[in-house]
Structure 1
Amino acid sequence: MTSEIVSRPLTFLRRGQPVTLRNVPPDRTLLEVLREDLHLSATKEGCGEGDCGACTVVLGEAVGGRLSYRAVNSCIRLAHSVSGMAVFTAEDIGSDAGELHPAQEAMLQCHASQCGFCTPGFVMSLFGAYQNSGGRGISREQAQADLSGNLCRCTGYRPILDAAETMGSLPLPAGCAVDEAATLVALKALKTRPSDNASYLRPTTLAALLQQRAKFPKAQVVAGCTDVGLWVTKLHKRFERVLDVTAARELRRVERYPHHIAIGASVPLADAFAALVQERPQLLAFSQRFAGLPVRNSGTMGGNVANGSPIGDSMPLLIALGASVVLMRWKKTAAGGEVAHRELRLENLYTGYRTNVMRPDELLCWIKVPRPMPDETMKAYKISKRFDDDISAVCLAIQMTVQDGVVQHISIGAGGVAATPARACQTEAALLGQPWNADTVTHAIAVLRAEFQPISDMRASARYRHTVLGNLLQRFWLESQGMTAINLENIQTLEALA
C-alpha cells in the first residue's frame, strides 16, 4: 500500500457502545475483524463465500427514524462497509445476567441445535426477523424464507422452524431488549466526515461519489460486497483502494414515476425485489430464490447488474421487463464540474464475459424498469441444484401480451446459456405476430435452443442447459393454458397441509 493513502478508522456500535479500530485494511472482512481483532468467536467461519450462513450477524441502521435490522454474511462483507452502523453478533443479544433472547431460548426449548456450529447463524437470522416483527415473531412460512441463507448440515430444519414459530410467544427479558431510541442517538453521533484520500472511500452524496470515481478510476468499486468478498476470501485478491457506493443517499431510493420505477444502485436486493414484486406479485417466489436473505440484504441489484455475471438472476428478469440502465460520471466544466449521464437498454451494457461499455470514470447509478403493461403475462424461471440459496444453471424470464389469440408483445431474457445475460431476439421474432398456439410454441422452442450455445461446467452440462431452455418455454406455454401444478412452488407439502 502506498504511503499517500490514509487508513480511515472503522467505527461502529456494539452493545450500544462505539467501537473504533484503526489501521483496518480496505479489503479486510467483517468476520476477520470480529473473530481476530475483537475475539468474538461465536460468529463462525464456515464456507467463506456467503453460502452456509454460519457467519451471520445483524446490522442495525437508521431508516426513516427507526432502527432497521438486516441479517448479513460477515464472511464476505468488507469491514469498512459497516462504518456508522450497529453490529449485533450472537454474543450481543443475551443479557449481561445470562438471560437468553427469545431467539436463543426458542432454539433451546425446541431442541433445535445438534452439532451447534450453524446455531449462531440461525439465531442471528431469527433475531433479525424477531426485531423487524416488533417482537411478534414470524410464521413458519415466513421462517422458511427468512432462513433460506442458513444451512444445517445435521438436517435439523424442523425444530429450527419450530423455534421460529415459538420465539414470538416467549417473554423478552429486560436485559435483552434493544434500546432503539438510545441506539438511534448513538448512531447519529457516529457520523464522521468522509476522507478524500482514504483507502476505503464511502461518499455520502452522488456528486462526491462520481468525483471520487473520476479521481480514482482504478479503485475497486463495491456495493454489497457479495461478489467482491468472494474475490477476497477465495481468490485472495488484495485492493489498495476501495470505492463503496452504498452511502450515496440519492442512490438508496426506489423512485416511482407514471411509466417506470427507478431503482438506485445502492438499494439492497431485498428492497429492489420488493419494489418489483409490488408491481408484479407473481415474481415473489422467484425473488425469494435469489441466493439467501443475508445475500439479498447485503447485495444490491445495481451491483448484480454492473458485475454482469452470466448466471446472475437479476439480469434475465430485467431484460425481459425492458429495463434500462443510467450510467453517470463527473464531467469537468469551466464552472468546476457537473454530472453527465447516458441511458441504454440493459442487454446493451455487456460486451463479453464480465465486460461492459462503461468508461473508467463511469458508474451504474440507476435501473429503470417499465410499469406493467395491460394484460401482460410475466413469468421468471430458475433452475438450480438446490431450490433455495443456490446459483442458477439456467434462468429464463418471459414477458408477453396476447390479443385475439396473437402475440402482440414478447420479451425474453436468458441467463446461464451465454457469456453474458442475453436477450433471445431470434426467439422473440419467431413469436411476435404469430398465433399463440402449440405449433407456434414448438417452432419457438427449436429457435430458442438454436439461439444459444451453452457450455458445460460444475452446475450443468451444455446438453442439460440446451434441453431445459426449451422446456421452460414449453412450461410457459402450458401455464398460459391453465396448468399450474407443474411448478414446485405451487405444490404444498403434507406438513404445510397439516
Structure 2
Amino acid sequence: MSPMTAPQAIRFYHQGRITEVEGLAPTRSVLDWLREDARCTGTKEGCNEGDCGACTVMLAELAEPGDPQAVQGLKLQTVNACIQLLPSLHGKALFTVEDMKTSCRPKDAGQPCSALHPVQQAMVDCHGSQCGFCTPGFVVSLWSVYERQQAQQGAAPTRQQLADALSGNLCRCTGYRPILDAGQQMLDLPARQLDAAPVVTALQSLRSDADWSYAYRPISGQPQHFHAPASIDSLAQLRAALPDARLIGGTTDVALWINKQFRPLGDLIAVGRVAELRRIQERDGMLCIGAGASLEAAWAALAQRFPALTEVWLRFASPPVRHAGTMGGNVANGSPIGDAPPVLMALDAEIELRLGERLRRMPLTDFYVDYMKNQLEPGEWVQGLRVPLAVQARQVRAYKISKRFDCDISALCAGFSLQLDARGQVETVRLAFGGMAATVRRAAKAEAALLGQAWTAQAVQRAQAALAEDFQPMSDMRASAAYRLKVAQNLLQRLWLETRADAPLAADATSVWAAMPHLVSSAQAPEAAATGA
C-alpha cells in the first residue's frame, strides 16, 4: 500500500440506506456525527469517555461462516459512540435507538401510530426509566441481547447474564432491578426481529479486500489522513513509509486524548481491517492472539483454556469497550494498571514485534522498561501475543480489585500461575501485578521465596514479606500504598487457600454473594456461570 492511495468517502449503512461522509475530520466521533450532523439525538452524551454507556450504539458486520453468535448472517456488537472515530464505520452498519421504531396499522384510518419494540415496551412496563438520560444506552444493549436470543433460540439469559451484558451502562436514578426485570420480560412479549436482509445486501455491496484511506483537508492547517490497510504486508509497508503516523486499534484509549486532552493526532493508521491481526489460533504449541483481535475475543479464548480467568474477563471494562478495544493495544499501551499484562505475564506470554519484514519475539516480562516506556523501536509495532499451551498444566488465578465491581479501573490486578511437583513443592511460580509499580511486572523476590519450597502457609508468609521488597506502590485516588501492599499480600493468601492440598476453598467460598445471601433475594442473586452475553 502506498501512502498516496486515493482517498475515498466513508461509506456505511445507516437508517435503511448507504450513507457517504466526506469533509469531516477523521477524529470526529460517531457520537458527534450522530447528534450534530445526522440529527439523531436519541443517542446521548454522558461521560464522553466510554464509561457511562449513554451513547451505546450497535454495529453490524457480515458474520464469518460458522460464527455461533451470528444473527441472520450479521455480527452485532455494541460499542460506545463517543470513543469511536467516524472512519471506523466504513463498510459497517450503524444502528441507534431510533432504528427500533417501527410503524403499525392504526386503529383509526388516517391516524398514525407507532409500536414500541419489545425491549422498549418492557422498559415502560417495568418502570425502568426515570430521568431517561441513560435509557437509550440500556435499550440498545438489551436490543443486542434480544436479537441474539431471537436468532439462537436457546435458553433465556439469566439475570446475571443480563447484568453482565449491561455492565457498561450506568443508571443513577432508577437503579438496576427494574431494568433487569425488563431484560427478562422483553422475551415474553410478541417477538420482533431485525430485518437483516437489506443490511446483509448493503454490507455485501460495501465489502472490499482493498486498502482504504480517507483524507480531510481543513481550510487552514495540514491535511489529515486515515489509512486502513487490508493486509499485514500493506500495514508493514505503510508503517515503514509513515513511521510518525499514529497506529490505532479500537481507540478506546486514544479517543480520550481527543475528547479530554484535545491533542492533535496527525495521520492515523488503523489496524481493524487487517484480518491476519484479528486471528486467534493454536499453532506450534502456542495460543496465538493477533494484536488486532478484540478484547472480547481474546479474553474468551483465554478463559476457554483457563476457566479461572472468566471473572477477570467479565470485569475487564464492559462489553462495548471489549468489542472495540484490542488486547494488543492494551499491552502496547503500557499502563501500569492495565489488566491484561499481569495475566499474560503469569501465563509466560511472548510478544511479537514487527518492523518492516523483521519479526522478533521477547517475553512480555521484558517488554516494559519504565513508566509508559517499552522496547519498541522507532517504526516498530506489536503484531501479536503468544501464550504457551503447556501452561494449562499449572493452576492459574487472576484477581481484580477496584472500587466498583463492574467497568472500573483497577486499583490492583494480579495474575498468578503455580505448578507443584510430586512432592508438593513449588516447581514453577509466576506472580505478576498491575498497580504496584511504574510498570506491570512480576514479583521476583516473592517468587524466589516460594520456588523449591513446600506449598504451605509458612512459605506463603515468607512470600508475603518479600512483596514489600519487590514493590513500593504509590498512593493515588484509587488506593493508598499501604492498602495496595496489604491487598497484594492477601491475594497470595487467597491463592494458597484456593490451591492448597488440604481442603482447598471452592469457588463459592470466595463469592460475596454466597457469603452474604441475605443482601439479595434468590431471584436477584447472580448465578456463578460465565456468559459472553
Q: Please tell me the TM-score bracket, short chain as reference.
A: over 0.9
Give the aligned partner of residue 85 of structure 2: 78
Q: Displacement of 1:99 after TM fit?
A: 2.0
Question: What's the secondary structure of 2:236's corresponding residue?
Answer: helix
> Runs of 5+ in structure 1 lacking a partner?
331-338
1:388 to 384, 400, 406: 406
Written as runs of structure 1 = structure 2, the 5 A alignment for 1:323-362 is: 323-330=349-356, 339-362=357-380
2:159 to 118, 135, 140: 140
- Larger mean Cα displacement after TM superposition, 95-104 or 143-152: 95-104
Whole-Å Cα distance in 2 between the matches of residues 492 and 300 of structure 1?
36
Q: Displacement of 1:128 after TM fit?
A: 1.1
Question: What's the secondary structure of 1:386's corresponding residue?
Answer: coil
Give the aligned partner of residue 61 of structure 1: 61
- Larger mean Cα displacement after TM superposition, 423-432 or 156-165: 423-432
Question: What's the secondary structure of 1:497's corresponding residue?
Answer: coil
Written as runs of structure 1 = structure 2, the 5 A alignment for 1:191-270 is: 191=207, 193-195=210-212, 198=215, 199-257=225-283, 259-270=285-296
Q: Displacement of 1:96 after TM fit?
A: 4.0
| AA of the residue aligned to 1:100 | L
Q: Displacement of 1:181 after TM fit?
A: 3.0
Give the aligned partner of residue 123 of structure 1: 139
Give the aligned partner of residue 376 of structure 1: 394
Q: Alpha carbons of 1:28 and 1:197: their partners in 2 closer, same or farther (altered >3 Å)?
A: closer
Q: Displacement of 1:348 after TM fit?
A: 1.1
Residues 315 and 405, structure 2, Cα contact 8 Å, conserved in 1: yes
| AA of the residue aligned to 1:40 | C
Residues 427 and 451, structure 2, Cα contact 8 Å, conserved in 1: yes
Residues 219 and 241, structure 1, Cα contact 8 Å, conserved in 2: yes
Residues 8 and 213, structure 2, Cα contact 8 Å, conserved in 1: no
Whole-Å Cα distance in 2 between the matches of residues 490 and 343 of structure 1?
44
For residues 33-72 of structure 1, the C-alpha deviation after alignment (integer angstroms, 9 at most, x for no partner) is 1111111100000001111000000110112142011111
Q: Alpha carbons of 1:72 and 1:492: their partners in 2 closer, same or farther (altered >3 Å)?
A: farther
1:100 to 102, 116, 119: 116
Question: What's the secondary structure of 1:311's corresponding residue?
Answer: coil
Whole-Å Cα distance in 2 between the matches of residues 256 and 374 of structure 1?
13
Residues 279 and 372, structure 1, Cα contact 8 Å, conserved in 2: no
Give the aligned partner of residue 200 of structure 2: 184
Give the aligned partner of residue 401 of structure 1: 419
**Does residue 483 in structure 1 map to residue 508 in structure 2?**
no
| AA of the residue aligned to 1:48 | N
Whole-Å Cα distance in 1 between the matches of residues 514 and 227 of structure 2?
46
Matched residues, number: 484
Q: Alpha carbons of 1:69 and 1:374: their partners in 2 closer, same or farther (altered >3 Å)?
A: closer
Question: What's the secondary structure of 1:240's corresponding residue?
Answer: coil
For residues 88-135 of structure 1, the C-alpha deviation after alignment (integer angstroms, 9 at most, x for no partner) is 001112214422222212111211111100000000101111122235
**Does residue 294 in structure 1 map to residue 320 in structure 2?**
yes
Whole-Å Cα distance in 1 between the matches of residues 424 and 441 of structure 2?
27
- Larger mean Cα displacement after TM superposition, 255-264 or 391-400: 255-264
Residues 285 and 489, structure 1, Cα contact 8 Å, conserved in 2: no
Question: What's the secondary structure of 1:238's corresponding residue?
Answer: coil
Residues 8 and 23, structure 1, Cα contact 8 Å, conserved in 2: no
Q: Displacement of 1:490 after TM fit?
A: 5.4
For residues 168-195 of structure 1, the C-alpha deviation after alignment (integer angstroms, 9 at most, x for no partner) is 222234xxx3232331221121235534
- Larger mean Cα displacement after TM superposition, 358-367 or 132-141: 132-141
Whole-Å Cα distance in 2 between the matches of residues 227 and 310 of structure 1?
14
Q: Alpha carbons of 1:373 and 1:195: their partners in 2 closer, same or farther (altered >3 Å)?
A: closer
For residues 227-258 of structure 1, the C-alpha deviation after alignment (integer angstroms, 9 at most, x for no partner) is 00111111111222111111101111111135
Question: What's the secondary structure of 2:36's corresponding residue?
Answer: helix
Residues 328 and 340, structure 1, Cα contact 8 Å, conserved in 2: yes
Whole-Å Cα distance in 1 between the matches of residues 43 and 416 of structure 2?
41
Give the aligned partner of residue 302 of structure 2: 276
Residues 130 and 138, structure 1, Cα contact 8 Å, conserved in 2: no
Q: Displacement of 1:296 after TM fit?
A: 0.8
| AA of the residue aligned to 2:505 | M
Q: Displacement of 1:444 after TM fit?
A: 0.3
> Runs of 5+ in structure 2 lacking a partner?
66-72, 105-113, 216-224, 524-533
Whole-Å Cα distance in 1 between the matches of residues 316 and 282 of structure 2?
23
Whole-Å Cα distance in 2 between the matches of residues 27 and 68 of structure 1?
25
Whole-Å Cα distance in 1 between the matches of residues 472 and 269 of structure 2?
36
**Does residue 87 in structure 1 map to residue 94 in structure 2?**
yes
- Larger mean Cα displacement after TM superposition, 128-137 or 230-239: 128-137
Q: Alpha carbons of 1:496 and 1:362: their partners in 2 closer, same or farther (altered >3 Å)?
A: farther
Q: Alpha carbons of 1:365 and 1:491: their partners in 2 closer, same or farther (altered >3 Å)?
A: farther
Residues 9 and 214, structure 2, Cα contact 8 Å, conserved in 1: no
Give the aligned partner of residue 487 of structure 2: 468
- Larger mean Cα displacement after TM superposition, 371-380 or 285-294: 371-380
Whole-Å Cα distance in 2 between the matches of residues 432 and 45 of structure 1?
52
Q: Alpha carbons of 1:297 and 1:196: their partners in 2 closer, same or farther (altered >3 Å)?
A: closer
Question: What's the secondary structure of 1:212's corresponding residue?
Answer: helix
Question: What's the secondary structure of 1:75's corresponding residue?
Answer: helix
Give the aligned partner of residue 434 of structure 2: 415
Residues 445 and 469, structure 2, Cα contact 8 Å, conserved in 1: no
